[in-house]
Amino acid sequence: MKHGVAFRKLSRTSSHRMLMLRLGKKGDLPAFRRATGFLLDQTMVPKLFSDLATRYADRPGGYTRVHKFGNRPGDNAPHAILELVDNPRDLRFQMTARAVGWELLGKRVGQGDPKALVKTGIPDIVDVIEQEKTVPPEGRGELRSVTRKNLQKVLKFRGVGAVEEMSRIAEDHVVSRPSHIPGGVGTPFLQDTVLAQPLALKEIVAAKQEKKEKHAAYAGIRLKAGQTLPGGQRSTLHLAQGDLGRENPGRWQWFTRRKLGVDQTSVWNQL
Amino acid sequence: MAAALALHQSSSWLSAMRAPLARMSLAAAFLPAFLAAPKPFSWAMPALPSLLELFPPWLLAVPKKKTSHSRKAMRSANKGLKDKENLVHCQSCGSPKLAHNMCPKCYRELNISWKAKNRSADPSGITVF
């Protein structure tokens, strides 16, 4: 149950939703009658009192979540996505899992051999997640403090199997290869997952050299504007400009802000 | 002055000027007709051919010259589009996005993958994953 809504209408929608969810948790006959009276779609009422009530049994409130989503093109109205927390398509959970994968990969790219990483991936994601669950807010761990905070929040009321699911999403985001590559798992619509690109390029380069085509082997990875690879260091404006973005060699490198998740193309050119 | 009189023959506010100067007070020269001539008091509203009579001509504003290109450009110097400063990196794909907002790239990818999953698992389109 997720909709894009204009931001100003949100407070009314979310308060109605929260009221319905509170009734679902109560579960008794008067609550059932009230919910039936309010909801337009009667098929949702049993779902409210069974699935959603069990999902939010331990959670003391905060059953809905708002994600701001830019502005609507027609009238420039602020847009948002409303979702029920812990639903199968929980956006925050998905984004946190992907962030975990991205950050770990970015860290390890800087530390060690990228070629080995491409083959092995990140085998110890589950251990990292389990460890980060226990780290206090002020403490230090493998992840950024914001990512750790999000991780702890999304895993709090999720129950068994949440850590496994998170690690699976992270691995898929980072390591999975498209199906046209041998041994590839294949998500046919995600053509350029993070590690798949250099692999794919390697295959293409090797094939071209075999056929001895006129065009020389492709030297490096060409990124689109706004696209990065993990472990990089370019600013958002530089990324957005794409090929027109200028490098800042020399003194300026000391003033540019380095953040995890920003592109460092030179590393990947060594593959 | 004579030319002005010739042009504004019917103007009521100048009719006071045509009266002998000795008879007029100075103030009356600058008042509209209905106020200039002394009248006995009555409750009736004065007859006004037009409301513009309340304003003497030198109060009606009008541009004197066409605004030059340069002056017009100077005035619109502050009206340009402002840069967005609230750009950050998406934590899961590293690409630029608006701060505190959902990354559109990631949201699109997720939607595509969910829809593909729905289609492959249940072609009838009833269940939602």
Structure tokens that stand for A188 in this block: 């046919």
Most confident of A197-206, A222-231, B100-109: B100-109
Neighbours of A180 (CB within 10 A): 12
Most confident of A183-192, A210-219, B49-58, B91-100: B91-100
Average pLDDT over residues A43-60: 85
pLDDT reading at A261 higher than 70: no
**pLDDT on residue A179:** 44
Binary contact (A226, B104; C-beta < 8 A): no
The yes/no answer to whether this complex scores an ipTM above 0.90 is no
Give B50-92 pLDDT, tens digit per residue. 887 777 777 788 999 999 999 999 999 999 999 988 999 999 9
- On whether the CB atoms of residues A241 and A225 are closer than 8 A, the answer is yes
What is the 3 state secondary structure string of B74-123? HHHHHHCCCCCCCEEECCCCCCEEECCECCHHHHHHHHHHHHHHHHHHCC
Q: Picking from A142-151, B65-74, B116-125, which range would have the lowest pLDDT averaged per residue?
A: B116-125
pLDDT reading at A99 higher than 70: yes
CA angle B93, B95, B96 (to 5 degrees): 140
Structure tokens that stand for A224 in this block: 């689109």
CA distance A200 to A180: 9
Average pLDDT over residues A116-142: 86
Q: Establish, for the pair of chains A and B, how many residue pairs have beta carbons separated by less than 8 Å.
A: 86
Binary contact (B113, A187; C-beta < 8 A): yes
CA distance B91 to A101: 10
Give A58-72 pLDDT, tens digit per residue. 999 888 898 999 998
Residues from B contacting A (CB-CB < 8 Å) are: 87-96, 98, 100-107, 109-110, 112-114, 116, 129
Average pLDDT over residues A160-180: 79
- On whether the CB atoms of residues A153 and A269 are closer than 8 A, the answer is no
Structure tokens that stand for A181 in this block: 């590559």
Could you give the residue range(s) of every CATH 3.90.1030.10 domain in chain A?
Answer: 5-84
CATH superfamily of A5-84: Ribosomal protein L17 (3.90.1030.10)
Query: Considering chain A, what is the average pLDDT of its residues?
Result: 75
pLDDT reading at B121 higher than 60: yes
In chain A, % of residues over pLDDT 70? 66
**pLDDT on residue A242:** 80
